Amino acid sequence: MSASMRAVEIKDGKGPIENLYIASIPKPVPTNAQALVKIKAFGLNRMDLVQREGDYPLPPQAPKTLGVEFSGIIEELGSSPEKGFQVGDEVFGLAYGGAYAEYIAVSTHMLVHKPKELSWEQCAGIPETWITATQALYLVSHFTPGKSILWHAGASSVSIAGIQLSVADGASAVYATARSDAKCDFAVSTLGATAAFNAKTSDWAAEVLKATDGKGVDIIIDFVGGEYFAQNLDAVARDGIIVNLGFLGGTRVPDGTDIGAFIRKRITFKGSSLRSRDEVYQGKLRDQLVEHALPRFVDGRFKVLVDRVFDWERIQEAQGVLERNETTGKVICTIS
């Protein structure tokens, strides 16, 4: 068996899309609870773009190779894998990094058996996005049935998952924002959102207040950050919570932002991330995904929406589509 494999590398360690190329690197060796998985497909995420540019704070256990979600076949096991996993098993999973490659060594505690009803491409698009949405909805915002919720970037992969979870689990209303009418229509007609507002052409906070008779929403899940900060304070309800997961709109709040709503409305603002969490925490989320969402993937109640699939040798083109915000759903690369 060869001791090397092909993987996507970054010329000079960081830089623009043009710096991505495929090179030969050492193949990882599984230890302890790990499995060596031969990758069939991997999912792209915005954190990959930030990491490629050298601006993502990697956890210490992460390899320099990009990619955190994948599907494939177990080829080798470490000395103490989780029970239920064997060589030859078809799986998908979440990793701290290393998925843009032919092989990955990953903890079996973060693997899920691939259902026959789902494709390699669909399974590669589940772990990061659906676990992130699960974490934000249940562990961070403490969602319960009957609460209303707003998902920003409504056609992004995490919000696609989150909107479906919110609708299925009894939210009183589910709202979304997006930056095109087509994506707003998608959030309503395909995902089941109550309403969606074009953040480029409307005052979405005013629209949320109008839709809720001035009350606002109980929960806001935000990936935009500074650009939406003041409007989030307007749109959230009394005793509501704003969960920040990203900074697509920068980290600086607009001049003149009034933070008085924190006291007037008794607002909670929480920031969260998934990749920096330890394996025990991530493993509990994996279990929740398996118990709560996996049966709904299998019977079709939950949709795994793959926007485009590229051969991984077209990785520059694949990341470009994501970087230009041209997607509605996941971008997946396959390895033949």
The reply to whether CATH 3.90.180.10 applies to domain 4-126+305-334 is yes
Distances (CA, A) of 334 to 96, 114, 165: 19, 16, 27
Arithmetic mean of pLDDT over the chain: 96
Contact 93, 113 (CB under 8 A): no
For position 247, what pLDDT does the model report? 87
Residue 328 pLDDT exceeds 80 = yes
Structure confidence at residue 106 (pLDDT): 97
Q: What per-residue confidence (pLDDT) applies to 249? A: 84
Q: Each residue of 156-191: pLDDT tens digit? A: 999 999 999 999 999 999 999 999 999 999 999 999
Task: Domain 130-271: give its CATH architecture.
Answer: 3-Layer(aba) Sandwich (3.40)
pLDDT computed for residue 312 by the predictor: 98
Average pLDDT over residues 55-77: 94
Asked whether this chain's domains 4-126+305-334 and 130-271 adopt the same fold, the reply is: no
Percent of the chain with pLDDT over 90: 91
Read off the pLDDT of residues 274-297 as tens digits, 9 standing for 90 and up. Answer: 988 988 999 999 999 999 999 999
Work out the pLDDT band at 1, boundaries 50, 70, 90.
Answer: low
For the CA atoms of 101, 103, 105, 111, what is the dihedral angle to 10 degrees? 90
Dist. CA 130–CA 327, nearest whole Å:
17
Output the CA torsion sign for 240, 241, 247, 252. positive
pLDDT of the residue at 251: 87
In this predicted model, what pLDDT tens digit does every residue of 92-115 receive, in sequence order? 999 999 999 999 999 999 999 999
Confidence of residue 60 (pLDDT cuts 50, 70, 90): confident
Tokens of 152: 């920003």
* Residue-level pLDDT at 57: 86
Q: Where are the domains of the chain?
A: 4-126+305-334, 130-271
How far apart, in whole angstroms, are the C-alpha atoms of residue 77 and residue 82?
Answer: 10
Q: What is the pTM of this model?
A: 0.94
Q: Is the pLDDT of residue 248 over 90?
A: no
Nearest C-alpha neighbor of 30 from the set 78, 73, 82, 62: 78
CA nearest 151: which of 168, 170, 166?
166
